[in-house]
Every structure is written in structure tokens, then in C-alpha cells.
Structure 1
Amino acid sequence: MAEGSIERAASGIKRGVVWSLSGSHLLNDLVTTGVVPALSPLYMSTYHLNYTQTSLVVLCSYLTSSISQPLFGALTDKYPRAWLLPLGLFLSTLCLTLTGFAPNFACLLILISISGLGSGAFHPEASRGTQLASGNARGLAQAIFQVGGNSGQALGQLMMPLFLLAMGVHGLLWFFIAVACGLLLTGRIYPWYRDSLQSNSKRMREAEGDNQIGAVTLLVVIVILRSWCQIGIAVFLPFYYRQQFGMSYSLADSFTFIFLAAGAIGTFIGGMLADRMPKQRILLYSMLCSVPFALFLPFLHGALALIILIPFGFFILSSFAVTVVYCQYLLPRNVSLASGLTIGFGVGAGGIGATFFGALSDAVGLNVVFYILMFLPVLGSILSFFLPNDGRRRTAA
């Protein structure tokens, strides 16, 4: 009987739309949250930057995206704009591609910032489109959508060892392929999304339930801690392994790819579980299970580090899709705002953390920063205990 109910829920998904949105998400995050941290060593050598300036590049990308996403989300909850979906993806991919031709550091920061704004416009609309296409399986649909983003982040780490180290920043010219693919995917689903917004506008305005502001605030804090840990590893793991163990940047980026790839698998499985068990519990278990692997990571390298990175990435990111659906449960009247807070502001705050930790690295050393990053899942686990259990409402229903 349980299997039958799951099949009925899954049958309500418009799979073509969800997978197209997932592919668009992959392209967006490939050239923003994926490539930008991976490009840090290349930007550093090209523009002769220190750790703080290098982290500032990541900050501009994540900060513009994180601030704009909840703003776009709140605005489009009242005034939906279907055209923001293709326009946002176009700006995020195009401007990142153009950084390969930036004449100086100031122009680089401007292009990175515009790319972040494009990502900020894309995410709330894409997440709402995923919900509209999800039927009764919101967790599964968000899992597919978020796996696209996480896969893009992971693949971004491979760009350096595959061709950017050999070709330099001008190798970003190849990302015009991502621009074209993004226009193709979003153009394909744009008519459906425009019509769906029109037909569902009244239902979205009259959604049942009250917004739980306190719980949302706590959830966003936990997402920020998770983001600091994730982005901190993506940015500083290559530097840390280079300094501590003499590992090449290309090999260290491959390790980061494995960490994020394991996280993509965890995101999918966690999203599937969100349709079957309380989302608060999934978030709590995700943080708790990641703690022992986080604490061991700074002391291991080589094959032992891989053994730690795989389960660490799996567990720490297994709540990624869950937190989006959970926030939409806590903010039933503001679905796009919920997406903007969890995918945008929460995750984008990782860029702010990366800048802070970059400055701290210059001041007290990279080792201290890496140890701090490893304790963030502990704090996230503690805070997760205080979130409301959505399983009670599920049981009552």
C-alpha cells in the first residue's frame, strides 16, 4: 500500500518540466557556485591577489545572489514574472563567461556581481516552477531540482583540472555553450510556466496555513552554518591540502568534486525521504551524522581523506532539498520567498563566510580556519533540535 501511494504521488510530477528545471539549475550553479570557488587559485595568480581579495570574488558572487534571491522571491510572490526564469539564467551564465576577458580586478568584480544577480532572479522562479510541476511529491521534485544544482557545483570543481589550468581564464570562452543550453532549456518550458502562473495565481495567493517566522529564522541560521561548511571546504580545501600535504591544486579540486558529488547523491535521497518522514528529523539526522567525519577530515589526506569526504558530503548535503520543502511548509503563503531564503540567502551567506574566513586565514593561518569549519556541523546539530516537528501535522492529516 505504501508503494502504491508513492507511485501515485510520483505520477503527478510533470517530469519533463522538472528535469528541464534541474538541467537549468545545473548550468546556473555550474558557472556560479561551482566554478567561482574553483577559479579562486586561477584568479589569485592572474590578478596577483591575496587570500582576502580572492575571497572577495566569491563574496561578490554569493552576496549579490543571496541578497537578491529573497527580494526577488518576495516580489514575485505578489507579482509573478515568468520571464525572470530565462533572463536570470542568461545573465548568470553570460557574465561569468565574460570574466575570462575582464581587463582588471574591478571589472572582474562587476561581472561576478551581475552574474550573482542573474542567479538571484533565476532561483525563486525555478523553485516555484518545480513546485507547480511536482504534483503531490514535492520532496522528490525538489530533490531532482536540487540535484541539478549540486551536480553543477560538483562539476565546477572539475573545470580547473580538466582544462582551465592549461588554458587560463580565457578558457572560460567555452562556457558560451552553457549560455546557449540555458536559453534552450528555459525557452522550452517558458510557455508552460507562464500559463501555469496565470492558472494558479489565485490558489497561490489563498494558500492555507500561517507563516512561522521564528522557526524560519532558526532554519535559515542552520542553512547558513551548513553553507559555511560546504563553501568553506570548496574554497579552502585545495589551499589546505597544498599547504599541509603538498597536494597539487588539480588533485585537491578532484577531492572537492568527490565531496560535492557525494552531496548530490545525498540531496536526492534526502529529498525522496522528505515525502515519507518528517523533514525536521531528516535535517537533524543529516547534521548529526556528518559530525564525526567533519572532525576527522583536517588530519587525513590521500585515500583516507577520500573515505571521509564521501560520507561527509553525503550527510551534510542530504538535507539540501529537504530544507527548501520544509521552509515552504513553514511559509505556505510565500513559496518563492521560502526558496529565496533557503537556496539564496542561506546558501549565499556562504560567500560572506568565505570572505570572513579568508581574512581570518591571512591573520591567524589557514589551519585555524579549517578547524573552525569542521565544528560548524556540531552547532547546526544542536540548533536543529529546536525546530518544530512537521511530523505531527502529517500524522493528523
Structure 2
Amino acid sequence: MNLALNKDLGSEKPRLGAKKQLFSLSGVHFINDLMTTGIVPALLPLYKEAFHLNYFQSGIVLFVSMLTSSVAQPLFGMISDKHPRTWLMPLGICLGGFGLTASGYASAYWLLLILVGVSGVGSGIFHPEAMRGAYMAAGTARGTAQAIMQVGGNFGQAVGPLLLPLFLINTGLHGLGWLVPLAAAGLVLVLSIMPWYKQSLEKNKARKKEIKGRNHVVGLSLLTGVVILRSWTQIGVAGFLPFLYLHQGISLKYGDLFTFLFLAAGALGTFIGGRCSDRISRKWLLFISMAVTVPFAWLLPHVHGILSIIILFVFGFFVLSSFAVTVVYGQMMFPKNIGLVSGLMVGFGIGAGGIGATLIGWLSDQYGIHTIFGLFALLPFLAALLTLFLPSERKLIE
């Protein structure tokens, strides 16, 4: 197993380019993901109670959120690869905030699904352009740049469940109206970097003609498979962990705190994994991330007390430590299609997670919530096996 320095980095220390703009993008990513795909899994128990849903119908809500986001991301990624548009990020923030906030006032299940879908589309429009922005701000530290960018989104997903015990359990779904100021803050922040973004797009358009390298279709297909399996694991745990703890007699309030711990650990793993990927092989980082996840995923439903907290934290850390790695790895495989690849690595994985959540909801109705947690040890095991067949970075840059 070769963990040597990446050839594309040479002997120079990796350095970030536009730091201020990169951290601003990360902040907007935090707000976007908190308001869209981040909070929807945590809201499932409230939606379930308000609309008298079963587990399968609850999974459909998550499915709609994830699927609309996943379809929009590669679609708008392809469009923006040919015709980049600076207004896509502000549009995405507005749609995401509107859809999620309005879902708190939905009068029927079908209207809830539409509004959650609008939120998902907004998230899908935002992500490819945001990933492109991180790519242009990266300098030579591409893994670190994506880590900073992705940790904003992952932390937003982690904070989402905290809103329930903080105030949504007391206010109900109408409390989502208080997210309007947060959406406005995200819009102001994204508008502040638009001048830099427009200028960077012009420079990147000129450099794009000089990019060499062929697309690796098989490699990207295998990598997408790894991302899907990882997403099923992450989103499945985030969405159904509160139900597991309810089944064990732990209140929703504490169940959502555990979900926050799982996702916060993932945010930390995302940052550290991205930083490491600027120094050592991304392929083997990805393999280690998935392989080490397996035993902790298996242990999770079988432990209690302080040990369960430790297991949950380590599980979350490793399952998402490859998040930024897969984005950069995919960009290396399709060097001229940054938007498309970013949409696939983030968006398609999210959509697959939604499909998985629907299946998990159905299995939970059939066999019980405790049984399906055994699946979360099998999925990263299969992902680790797929990783072994990925092309090395040395082949991608030759």
C-alpha cells in the first residue's frame, strides 16, 4: 500500500489560493445544508407526527428531498460547465430557504412533498457552482480547499438536528419560519463574493483550454458507486438514529443530540481527511476510511452508555473522512468537467441516500428499526472492496 506524496503536488508545500472567499463559501455551504438536506432527516419525526405517517411515508419525504437535489446537481453542473452563471448560487440559497421554511406551514402531505422538493432543487442548484468556486480558490491545496468547503456543509447537517431539542420540539413545524433570517444571511454572504467569483470564472475559462488529460469513465463510475454506498450509510444513520433510540427508550431530545454527535464527528473527519489527501494517496485514504468504518458500524446497535457515544463518534468520523477526498479524486478523473463531477460526487450520492432511506424505511416497517442497522456494516465493506479497483492518481496525471 503506497501512501507516498501525491505526484501532482511535487515537493512544494500545498498552499491555498483565495482564503477569504473560500471561507465565505464554506459559511454559505453551512447555511445551505442546514436549511435543506441537513435538517430534513431530523424533521422526519415531526413530519411523521403532524401528517400521521408510517416509516415508509417518512422515508418518502427524505427521498424527495435527496432525489430532487441529486437530479439538479449533475444537471446544473453540466449546464454550468458550458455556460457558468454567477446567479446560480444566490438562486439556490433562495429556493432552498423558501422550500424548507414553507414546509412548516404545509396543509397536506402532497404539498409537503412539493415544498421539500423545492428545497432540494435549491440545494442542487447551489452545490455545483459552490464546488467550482472552491476549486478556483484552492491554489495547490485542492484537498484542503474541498475539506474547508465540505466541512461547512457537513457541520450544517450536524447542526440541523440540534434545532429540534433547542426549539422546534416546543414550537412545532411552524418554528421553521425562524430560518428566514438565516436564509437572508446566506444570501448576503454569497452576494459579497460575487465580484471575485465572476472574475475567477473568466480566468478559469481561459485556463480550461490548456487542461490536459482524458476522462476516466470506468474510474468515475466505480467512485460513484463508493459514494452511493457511503451515502446510504451516512444518511440512513442520520435519518433513523432517532428512531433507534426511541425504540431503546431514549427520548427524541437526546436522540437528536446523538445525531448531532455523529454528523459533527463526520465534519471533523471531512476536514482531516481532506488535509491528509494533499499529502498521501487519495485512493488508499478512501479505502482506509471505508474499511475502518465497518466494525464501528456493526457495534453501534449493540452497545449502550458511554461506549455507544464513543462508537458513534468514531463511526461518524471515519465514514465521512473521505467526503472531500472523493470530490477531488473525481475532479482528477474528469478534469474538464468540474461542475458535472461535483454534482455527481455530492448530488448523486445525496439522491442515492434518499433512495436508500426509502428502502430503509420500508425494511423498518417490515423487520423493525433495530434489524436494519445491521446493514450499515455491510455497506462500507462493499465500498472498501470497490475502492481497490479505482485507478491510482499516478495514472490519472500521466
Per-residue deviation, residues 334-379 of structure 1 (Å, max 9, x unmatched): 0111100001001221011101111121122222221112321111
1:36/1:58 contact within 8 Å kept: yes
The answer for the alignment partner of 1:217 in structure 2 is: 221
Q: Which amino acid letter does the alignment assign opposite residue 350 of structure 1?
A: G
Partners of 2:27 and 2:33 in 1: how far apart? 10
1:279/1:391 contact within 8 Å kept: no
Identity %: 52
The answer for the alignment partner of 1:207 in structure 2 is: 211
Partners of 1:9 and 1:370 in 2: how far apart? 40
Q: 1:116 is paired with a residue of what secondary structure?
A: helix
Residue 17 of structure 1: CA displacement?
0.5
The answer for the alignment partner of 1:152 in structure 2 is: 156
- 1:261 and 2:256 matched: no
- 1:328 and 2:331 matched: yes
- 1:236 and 2:222 matched: no
Residue 199 of structure 1: CA displacement?
2.6
Residue 64 of structure 1: CA displacement?
0.3
Cα 1:186–1:6, aligned 2, differ >3 Å: closer, same or farther? farther
Partners of 2:367 and 2:294 in 1: how far apart? 24
Partners of 1:393 and 1:172 in 2: how far apart? 46
- 1:45 and 2:49 matched: yes
Q: Which amino acid letter does the alignment assign opposite residue 160 of structure 2?
A: G
Partners of 2:141 and 2:22 in 1: how far apart? 12
The answer for the alignment partner of 2:289 in structure 1 is: 286
Count of residue correspondences = 391
Match of 1:277 among 266, 280, 287: 280
Q: Which amino acid letter does the alignment assign opposite residue 75 of structure 1?
A: I
Which region of structure 1 is more displaced relative to structure 2, 297-306 or 14-23? 297-306
The answer for the alignment partner of 1:14 in structure 2 is: 18
The answer for the alignment partner of 1:347 in structure 2 is: 350
Which region of structure 1 is more displaced relative to structure 2, 335-344 or 201-210? 201-210
Unaligned 5+ runs, structure 1: none
RMSD over equivalenced CA pairs, Å: 1.6
The answer for the alignment partner of 1:136 in structure 2 is: 140
The answer for the alignment partner of 2:31 in structure 1 is: 27
Residue 142 of structure 1: CA displacement?
0.4
Residue 303 of structure 1: CA displacement?
1.4
Partners of 2:23 and 2:293 in 1: how far apart? 29
Q: 1:195 is paired with a residue of what secondary structure?
A: helix
- 1:94 and 2:98 matched: yes
The answer for the alignment partner of 2:303 in structure 1 is: 300
Match of 1:374 among 362, 377, 386: 377
1:154/1:256 contact within 8 Å kept: yes
Per-residue deviation, residues 300-328 of structure 1 (Å, max 9, x unmatched): 12211101011111111000000000000
Q: 2:304 is paired with a residue of what secondary structure?
A: coil
The answer for the alignment partner of 1:163 in structure 2 is: 167
Q: Which amino acid letter does the alignment assign opposite residue 74 of structure 2?
A: P
2:55/2:361 contact within 8 Å kept: yes
2:91/2:126 contact within 8 Å kept: yes
The answer for the alignment partner of 1:81 in structure 2 is: 85
The answer for the alignment partner of 2:319 in structure 1 is: 316
Which region of structure 1 is more displaced relative to structure 2, 22-31 or 97-106? 97-106
Cα 1:313–1:6, aligned 2, differ >3 Å: closer, same or farther? farther
Match of 1:72 among 76, 91, 94: 76
2:69/2:350 contact within 8 Å kept: no
Stretches of 4+ aligned residues off by more than 6 angstroms: 4-7
Q: 1:39 is paired with a residue of what secondary structure?
A: helix
Residue 7 of structure 1: CA displacement?
8.1
TM-score by length of 1: 0.95
- 1:54 and 2:43 matched: no
Partners of 1:6 and 1:295 in 2: how far apart? 40
Q: Which amino acid letter does the alignment assign opposite residue 103 of structure 1?
A: S
2:332/2:396 contact within 8 Å kept: no
TM-score by length of 2: 0.95
Q: Which amino acid letter does the alignment assign opposite residue 9 of structure 1?
A: P
- 1:390 and 2:396 matched: no
- 1:196 and 2:193 matched: no
Partners of 1:61 and 1:5 in 2: how far apart? 41
Partners of 2:290 and 2:20 in 1: how far apart? 32
Q: Which amino acid letter does the alignment assign opposite residue 115 of structure 2?
A: L
Residue 391 of structure 1: CA displacement?
4.3
The answer for the alignment partner of 1:337 in structure 2 is: 340
2:295/2:377 contact within 8 Å kept: no
Residue 67 of structure 1: CA displacement?
1.1
2:219/2:391 contact within 8 Å kept: yes
Partners of 1:251 and 1:57 in 2: how far apart? 23
Partners of 1:73 and 1:142 in 2: how far apart? 17
2:37/2:120 contact within 8 Å kept: no
Residue 220 of structure 1: CA displacement?
0.5
Residue 269 of structure 1: CA displacement?
0.5
Partners of 2:370 and 2:340 in 1: how far apart? 37
